[in-house]
């Protein structure tokens, strides 16, 4: 144990207050969905467990995570491989069935990957020639790429894309060269250009690369009216519900479209829809402002960290949360495609919530021990 009064004085209590406020939004959103108050009460229990995990994480010097970063990463890879031997749930092999709860290993793997990449990058932090050549990015790309591919095969596209957000944030902080960013943009643009050309050969080539059901999701995302009672139903109902909330919302105790089940998975993937319908533009804006301040406080911690490892870890967390918030909210208003990605600290789910609290514990740990000396 290494928790002293001087550390508690450095603790960012504002982040804890933000987490409490997010917990209130989570309760109101879940209770206002078709899942109801009973599920919302379960979320309260998960929140209590989450805060206990967070405070337990503060008890240890965060440099301990540096020591065990690769070991945790290896353990996470084993869990991701083992999940392929489990039964399929909702079309994916992503969970371990532990009886009363479902455990999704891809959630803690986010933290394990961030720690491993941060340790790898911290060894090059003092090297002015780091990432000058494209081959220098290979080690980091491999560490991130292995879990990304394993999660993609489950299949879980939404969670896999989170790793892209982590990679982008950590490499920007780590000092990736501008020409590599441009090259990455050219490669992505070339991929979409090639897929556009291959679309003319749908039966022979295009649908060998992209499955027909995946293409249908893209089509209904761009134009949900193509299949209003099928793949487009969820998005159409989401936009109707958000629009009907108007400025002040319909009220948290009012029976709404979401509470009657017209918004599928309103307690999880589409919980922002429920909040916007119940609390209107004002309530939804307050939620987004809370996320903004949470990310802002974490960026401050990253700047004030006294060693590269701490800065890189927080940068990875910022990239992870920013992408998840943008993707989840964006998919409810047709700004982003629907991927089934939960809204951090808001959506119902034990694995996701506990993992996020664990990650926030690591971030706060780095912030409260910023007076430590630099280490190798």
Residue 374 lies in a domain: no
Q: Tell me, what's the pLDDT at 6?
A: 63
What is the predicted pLDDT for the residue at 101?
A: 76
State the pLDDT at residue 374. 44
Greater confidence (71 vs 195) lies with 71
**Cα dihedral value 356, 8, 316, 134, nearest 10:** -160
Look at residues 299, 336, 350, 303 and name the one whose alpha carbon lies nearest to residue 321.
299
8 Å CB contact between 374 and 14: no
Which pLDDT does position 373 carry in this prediction? 46
Q: Angle at the Cα of 321 (from 188 to 96), degrees rounded to 5?
A: 95
Write the DSSP symbol of residue 96: E
Residue 247, domain extent = 5-368
347 within domain boundaries: yes
Average pLDDT over residues 197-213: 68
* Better pLDDT: 219 or 205: 219
pLDDT at 230: 77
Q: What proportion of the chain, given as a percentage, has pLDDT over 90? A: 35
| Residue bearing the bigger pLDDT, 363 or 95 | 363
Is residue 376 included in any domain, yes or no? no
Which residues, in sequence order, are CB contacts of 142 under 8 Å at separation 6+?
none
In a domain, 375, yes or no: no
Q: Measured between alpha carbons, how far is 132 from 111 in angstroms, rounded to an integer? A: 27
Cα 209 to chain centroid distance, Å, stands at 26
DSSP code, position 98: -
CA angle 73, 92, 87 (to 5 degrees): 90
pLDDT of res. 300: 92
Structural domain contains residue 107? yes
| 77 domain residue, yes or no | yes
Nearest CA to 1 among 365, 317, 355, 360?
Answer: 365
Mean pLDDT estimate for the chain? 84
pLDDT recorded at residue 363:
94
Residues 206-263: tens digit of each pLDDT: 676 676 766 777 788 888 888 777 778 888 888 888 888 888 888 877 767 777 778 8
CA-closest candidate to residue 275, choices 29, 89, 15, 107: 29
Q: What is the mean pLDDT of residues 258-273?
A: 82
**Contact (Cβ atoms closer than 8 angstroms) between residue 57 and residue 358:** yes
Q: Which pLDDT belongs to residue 50?
A: 93
Top-ranked range on mean pLDDT: pick from 122-131, 162-171, 204-213: 162-171
Inform me whether the pLDDT recorded for 376 exceeds 60: no
Residue 67 is assigned to a structural domain of this protein? yes
Residue 266 is assigned to a structural domain of this protein: yes
Reported as a pLDDT band with limits 50, 70 and 90, residue 330 is very high
pLDDT 10s digits, 273-303 = 999 998 899 999 999 999 999 999 999 999 8
Contact call for residues 225 and 214 (beta carbons, < 8 A): no
Give the best-scoring range by mean pLDDT among 140-149, 184-193, 219-228, 333-342. Answer: 140-149
Looking at residue 338, its pLDDT comes to 83
Over residues 71-95, the mean pLDDT reads: 86
Give CA–CA dist 205/182, Å, rounded: 28
Is the torsion defined by CA of 137, 140, 142, 145 positive or negative?
A: negative
Could you give the number of structural domains in the chain? 1
Q: Which long-range contacts (CB under 8 A, 24 or more apart) does 19-26 make?
A: 19/51, 19/294, 19/345, 19/357, 19/360, 21/290, 22/287, 22/290, 22/291, 22/294, 22/345, 22/346, 23/47, 23/345, 25/275, 25/287, 25/290, 25/346, 26/271, 26/345, 26/346, 26/347, 26/348
pLDDT score, position 217:
75
């Amino acid at each position: 144990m290494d928790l002293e009064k001087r550390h508690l004085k450095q603790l960012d209590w504002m982040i804890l207050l933000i987490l409490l406020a997010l917990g209130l939004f989570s309760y109101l959103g879940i209770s206002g969905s078709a899942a109801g108050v009973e599920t919302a009460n379960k979320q309260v229990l998960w929140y209590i467990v989450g805060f206990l995990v967070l405070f337990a994480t503060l008890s240890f010097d965060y440099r301990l995570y540096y020591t065990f970063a690769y070991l945790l990463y290896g353990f996470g890879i084993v869990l991701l491989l083992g999940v392929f031997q489990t039964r399929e749930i909702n079309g994916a092999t992503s969970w371990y069935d532990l009886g009363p709860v479902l455990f999704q290993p891809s959630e803690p793997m986010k933290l394990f990957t961030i720690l491993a990449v941060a340790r790898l990058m911290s060894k090059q932090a003092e090297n002015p020639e780091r990432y000058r050549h494209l081959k220098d990015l290979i080690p980091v790309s491999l560490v991130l790429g292995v879990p990304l591919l394993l999660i993609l095969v489950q299949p879980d596209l939404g969670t896999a894309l989170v790793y892209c957000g982590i990679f982008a944030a950590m490499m920007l902080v780590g000092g990736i060269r501008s020409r590599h960013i441009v090259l990455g943009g050219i490669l992505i643009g070339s991929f979409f250009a090639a897929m556009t050309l291959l679309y003319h050969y749908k039966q022979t080539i295009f649908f060998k690369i992209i499955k027909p059901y995946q293409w249908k999701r893209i089509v209904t995302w761009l134009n949900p009216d193509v299949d209003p009672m099928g793949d487009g139903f969820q998005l159409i109902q989401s936009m109707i519900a958000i629009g009907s909330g108007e400025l002040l919302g319909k009220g948290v105790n009012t029976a709404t479209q979401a509470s009657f089940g017209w918004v599928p998975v309103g307690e999880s993937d589409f919980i922002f829809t429920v909040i916007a319908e119940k609390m209107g533009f004002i309530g939804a804006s307050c939620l987004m402002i809370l996320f903004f301040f949470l990310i802002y406080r974490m960026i401050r911690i990253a700047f004030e960290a006294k060693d590269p490892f701490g800065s890189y870890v927080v940068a990875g967390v910022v990239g992870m949360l920013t992408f998840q918030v943008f993707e989840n909210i964006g998919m409810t208003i047709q700004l982003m495609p629907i991927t089934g990605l939960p809204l951090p600290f808001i959506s119902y789910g034990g694995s996701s919530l506990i993992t996020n609290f664990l990650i926030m514990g690591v971030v706060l740990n780095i912030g409260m021990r910023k007076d430590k000396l630099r280490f190798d």
